[in-house]
Amino acid sequence: MSRRPNGNGAEDGQAIAPTVDGEELISAAPPRALSDIPGLGPIRVRALQKAGWTDLSALRSADVNTLLTVPGLSEIKARHIQQYLASFTPDELSPRPPLEDAMQLGGAILSRALGPDAPVVGELAAAPSQLVQRATRAMGEVVTALLSPDAPQFRSRLLRILGQLAQAAESLATDAPHLSDEQRSRAIRRLRRAGKALSEFNDSAMSDRKAQGRLADVLEELIGKLAECRLSS
């Protein structure tokens, strides 16, 4: 959170949480998308997106009267949004490539799976195991999809399958040293296909229900084939 000078009931350097009608709005980390703003439901998120307000830093400094042109956005809600965003600096709200967030989270998942001596993401990228790299990329694409503004509109089946794919990729990365060359080769090919399908989906209109269904079908088939890779060859 941003820091404010003393004089408002807080010590120097202490962050002051914004309030709405006396209720504190506390966030552990800067929001990355409109859906991260407390009290902002999917209808208003969609309205803001359609009006072009996807940059949180720009939204923070926008004129309230300009925001009132967004259908369904009241003055109270517009001020609520800006009061919440004002607790973060513009740099904290600057957009960051989703894959950067995704790779960091993917690295954290692998670190937990592989133990305290596991390499960090940068080291994983340079590791000799192509399977670990492919598994990390696949998990990164999964997290990219889940961090997207369209994620609240994902169908339950797709959400379930995304979770299964992340688990399958994590298991393969953990088991990589114990798999045969043939098993690793098959797993790499299938993870590459899953990653490509997810990447294309992440670059498309993800809220399209037909696209979600097609992706779910492809990933479900690949998850079954990934499970086969861990069986004895």
Encoding tokens for residue 204?
Answer: 């498309």
Please list the residues that pair with 23 across neighbouring strands: 20
For the stretch 140-164, what's the b/e string if a residue is b when 16 or more beta carbons lie within 10 angstroms of its beta carbon?
bbbbbbbbbbbbebbeeebeebbeb
**pLDDT digit string (tens) for 206-222?**
567 888 999 999 999 99
**Segment 145-200, tens digit of pLDDT:** 888 777 878 888 898 999 889 888 888 888 888 888 888 888 999 999 999 999 88
Q: Convert the pLDDT of each residue in 41-88 to its tens digit.
A: 888 888 888 888 888 888 998 988 999 999 989 999 999 998 999 888
Whole-model pTM? 0.50
Count Cβ atoms below 10 Å from residue 69 Cβ, excluding itself: 8
